A and B are shown apart, each in its own frame.
Chain A
């Protein structure tokens, strides 16, 4: 069975909006003093409030509000006076049988998120809400309606969430994935969430529809749930879009519904239809007072906002001409300050960034400083080190050898000793020792010439234990054959 095909037929356009739930890593839950930590022992981080005992009341966690506003500002949202609302529906993991969330007056509205390639995705809102508990259905098909019994763990009940709702501005699978990656980078940069999809601290639902290319209508969408990784998000969107196109091709149309992504089966299955969806009977939560951030509070959040990934990439982009992916990687790893310092110290920007991207993919690179990196790149530029040597030296710098000093490390290997006249002597010797090979090198056969270039370079490298600069060897060989 062909589960999905790589892209849509040309005449169809993909329309995607994403709803991302993010757990805020506050010390305590949203409405009570219970610790906001994962626990394997069910129902241990609970109190009357987060289990919804009769008579209990919520008290807003001010830190969670601050985190939410910080996220809002990072997404360029307007931060508004807001109120909490009750979303009423019955489900055993909802301790109060209503979720305390925000409805018509969310904290953050009207922002945008710029992807690495400068595509801008609109943010409709980013609102505060509480998480529910976790239900395990035992027996039957493992779903609530046919289980023998169900177990509920309320440890997660009341964990603070922000739900970030994008506008349906996403047109490609790559952009959907990039949106989630970029959002994750922002969350990490402003330090409000661990944002780990695989652990559930970041959960992505995708609203997917298709439309004829060139049209600006919004057709019936399906909401895909149970997406557990960025890769899975891409697969799910592709599958769902294909399904819609196939339905339209058969003269049918998708129903507006929630669908469950089956990662193993590579397909989505129908869930609840939106037509018979609950009426949530939203109303303002009378147990909480409205949130009224002052202009001073917002100014303070703005003032303490770190430089965000997009701006950090833009800064590096201005100084270099490397591909976007290099910038994304360097900023993702938080190595952009290191790179900037090295560039400011006079090292070639492209070389710095490429070297970091390729050869500094390690957990701990704290022993590498901008100055030592600049020195290394300068040594490479000056021909004191070959590319291979520079890679090796950088690795040892990160490992903290010789105090991370590239000169000392290179000296330790004897790398800097290879002067160009020494190399020339070696080349002359090799030519003299291998006259047959040399005549094939200087002959008319291009294939032979390439082969013999490989032979001579290899011999030189062998003789110098890899210390010779490959480009310098090639240059010498070319000079000798021309001469």
Chain B
């Protein structure tokens, strides 16, 4: 049952929210021992929230657009009184005294949080194998990773533990796991969804966004969480999106560019597998068949995205993660002096990938290296913004694969960080320029696992993106069947 069907049934009093929640909790209970989508299942709180929804319905009050819909929350968003760990030992047991703005809005919509989902520690990774609490498995093939860093949120929806979930996307952490799990995953325009209460990784890149099985459910959740928030200075001062009303408008007359450098064309990045490129071409053909004009376009600097990203994101992370020092909350490893206590705490509390990125970022910001590394990465961002702007003067949206491959086997990429990092080559540019992008399932690869294709648009082009995503969804090959 989709989120929209559940909401309709609960709102009309046809189904009780408690009943819906119990059904999903039972499914989690039966299945999550193997999948490990959740760090924490909040069963009691969920039943209480569901009962409140039922009471509102019984009292004739508006229970909200997503009344009774179970939702899984990535464990890097603050939830009042509920442990929020970032899948790190350093925050184990910490209970925030406040809700993230997105969580407040989810609660106000009547949706019911069923638990906090696993992630790569502090959202650093592309497979959810960097979690301090063990990996999440891909429900479509448990020998495979679900992608990352929002792997738990993706797996929760793919395993039918909840029809909706929230992830965060700093370099592809929603879109790549969506692609790996056969889901719709959206990274909104930077500033479209408040970051207040999202535990920062790369502050200038992070955005919260929805996972769902369908484009319509994704639109409904983004409508709920979007809109201006005075608590986030980078929040864009505009009302929440209206997306649901544009989904059936089609792509007739739309101009869509195939971004050559990220789609195997001339000057393309390497490592994009043939089956993924084939599905991307299929998607282009489907859009054309639906009335869009498809053209070949170039954003040369998009090939520099990966290098720029691995300077900007670790640099910001090195500063953002300084506060985990054992003084105020979370883990503290005692030592004779304050300085030694901080060192011991951070040594014990952070995993190897987090330490690697803190070191990378510290180096990139150091006196004498700033200009060569961080400063240069900022120039790349400016260059990319200019190049994307001129491309969007000609086309409405861009099309690329979401990830270079389908879901890879557990343990396949853990030995060499670089093989993991290249997973984000197609998704990173949108984060660097702050533009929205969505991953939509489009057929399967040679291994029978889903392939995701990505639609990119300029800032605040969410309505256009959802319009085209709905068209792609309608044209996609049947679920699970090879094209």
Task: Let me know if A145 is at the binding interface, CB within 8 A.
Answer: yes
Verify A281–B319 contact, CB threshold 8 A: yes
Verify B196–A56 contact, CB threshold 8 A: yes
Q: Chain A 278-291, CB within 8 Å of chain B: the 1/0 string? A: 01011100111100
Task: Let me know if A57 is at the binding interface, CB within 8 A.
Answer: yes
Complex interface: chain A residues within 8 A of B328 (CB): 51-53, 95
Verify A287–B94 contact, CB threshold 8 A: no
Given contacts A59-B231, A60-B233, A283-B374, contact A88 B198 (CB under 8 A): no
Partner of B96, one of A55, A144, A279, A289: A55
- Which residues of B84-130 have CB atoms within 8 Å of chain A's CB atoms? 84, 86, 91, 94, 96-98, 100
Verify B96–A97 contact, CB threshold 8 A: no
Verify A55–B100 contact, CB threshold 8 A: yes
Task: Let me know if A379 is at the binding interface, CB within 8 A.
Answer: no
Bound-complex Cα distance A54 to B77 (A) = 9
Complex interface: chain A residues within 8 A of B196 (CB): 55-57
For residue A48, which residue of chain B has the nearest CB?
A: B98
Given contacts A57-B196, A98-B322, contact A92 B94 (CB under 8 A): no
Complex interface: chain A residues within 8 A of B329 (CB): 53-54
Verify B325–A92 contact, CB threshold 8 A: yes
Task: Give min CB distance, A18 to chain B, whole Å.
Answer: 25
Q: Chain A 81-99, CB within 8 Å of chain B: the 1/0 string? A: 0000010101010011110
Q: Which of B255-263, B277-285, B334-342, B396-404 contacts its partner?
A: B334-342
Partner of B322, one of A58, A97, A287: A97
Bound-complex Cα distance A308 to B315 (A) = 44
Bound-complex Cα distance A47 to B142 (A) = 43
Task: Let me know if B200 is at the binding interface, CB within 8 A.
Answer: yes
For residue B206, which residue of chain A has the nearest CB?
A: A286
Task: Give min CB distance, B205 to chain A, whole Å.
Answer: 9
Verify A145–B374 contact, CB threshold 8 A: no
- Interface footprint category on A: 20 to 34
Bound-complex Cα distance A71 to B319 (A) = 31
Verify B84–A144 contact, CB threshold 8 A: no
Given contacts A90-B342, A144-B338, A286-B203, contact A54 B234 (CB under 8 A): no
Bound-complex Cα distance A282 to B369 (A) = 12
Interface size on B, residues (CB 8 A): 44
Complex interface: chain B residues within 8 A of A95 (CB): 323, 328
Q: How many A-B residue pairs have CB under 8 A?
A: 105
Verify A55–B338 contact, CB threshold 8 A: no
Complex interface: chain B residues within 8 A of A48 (CB): 96-98
Verify B323–A96 contact, CB threshold 8 A: yes
- Which residues of B378-419 have CB atoms within 8 Å of chain A's CB atoms? none
Task: Let me know if B455 is at the binding interface, CB within 8 A.
Answer: no
Verify A58–B233 contact, CB threshold 8 A: yes
Complex interface: chain A residues within 8 A of B197 (CB): 55-56
Bound-complex Cα distance A57 to B322 (A) = 15
Task: Let me know if B316 is at the binding interface, CB within 8 A.
Answer: yes
Partner of B94, one of A51, A54, A98, A288: A54
For residue B340, which residue of chain A has the nearest CB?
A: A145
Task: Give min CB distance, A63 to chain B, whole Å.
Answer: 15
Task: Give min CB distance, A276 to chain B, whole Å.
Answer: 13
Bound-complex Cα distance A303 to B43 (A) = 61
Bound-complex Cα distance A287 to B370 (A) = 20
Most buried by B among A53, A147, A279, A289: A53
Complex interface: chain A residues within 8 A of B366 (CB): 279, 281
Complex interface: chain A residues within 8 A of B84 (CB): 54-55
Task: Let me know if A369 is at the binding interface, CB within 8 A.
Answer: no
Complex interface: chain B residues within 8 A of A92 (CB): 325, 327, 338
Complex interface: chain B residues within 8 A of A51 (CB): 328
Complex interface: chain B residues within 8 A of A287 (CB): 200, 203, 233-234
Bound-complex Cα distance A288 to B195 (A) = 12
Verify A283–B365 contact, CB threshold 8 A: yes
Q: Chain A 129-149, CB within 8 Å of chain B: the 1/0 string? A: 000000000000000111100
Verify A90–B199 contact, CB threshold 8 A: no
Task: Let me know if A230 is at the binding interface, CB within 8 A.
Answer: no
Partner of A90, one of B198, B231, B325, B370: B325
Given contacts A92-B327, A279-B367, contact A53 B97 (CB under 8 A): yes
Complex interface: chain B residues within 8 A of A279 (CB): 366-367
For residue A289, which residue of chain B has the nearest CB?
A: B233
Q: Chain A 23-55, CB within 8 Å of chain B: the 1/0 string? A: 000000000000000000000000010011111
Complex interface: chain B residues within 8 A of A220 (CB): none
Task: Let me know if B446 is at the binding interface, CB within 8 A.
Answer: no
Task: Let me know if B81 is at the binding interface, CB within 8 A.
Answer: no
Task: Give min CB distance, A50 to chain B, whole Å.
Answer: 12
Complex interface: chain B residues within 8 A of A152 (CB): 327
Task: Let me know if A150 is at the binding interface, CB within 8 A.
Answer: yes
For residue A135, which residue of chain B has the nearest CB?
A: B338
Verify B338–A150 contact, CB threshold 8 A: yes
- Which residues of B232-261 have CB atoms within 8 Å of chain A's CB atoms? 232-234
Bound-complex Cα distance A150 to B336 (A) = 12
Verify A86–B319 contact, CB threshold 8 A: yes
Partner of B91, one of A54, A145, A282: A54
Verify A288–B315 contact, CB threshold 8 A: no
Bound-complex Cα distance A88 to B365 (A) = 10
Complex interface: chain A residues within 8 A of B337 (CB): 144-146
Partner of B204, one of A54, A60, A145, A286: A286
Bound-complex Cα distance A97 to B204 (A) = 19
Query: Can you name 15 A-B pairs with beta carbons within 8 Å?
Result: A53-B96, A53-B329, A54-B91, A55-B84, A55-B96, A60-B233, A88-B319, A96-B323, A144-B337, A281-B318, A281-B365, A281-B366, A283-B365, A287-B233, A289-B233
Top 10 A-B residue pairs of the complex, sorted by shortest distance between their CB atoms: A97-B322, A281-B365, A286-B204, A286-B203, A55-B197, A54-B199, A55-B78, A55-B199, A92-B327, A96-B323
Having A55-B199, A279-B366, one finds 5 other A-B pairs with CB under 8 Å, namely A54-B78, A54-B91, A55-B84, A58-B233, A286-B204
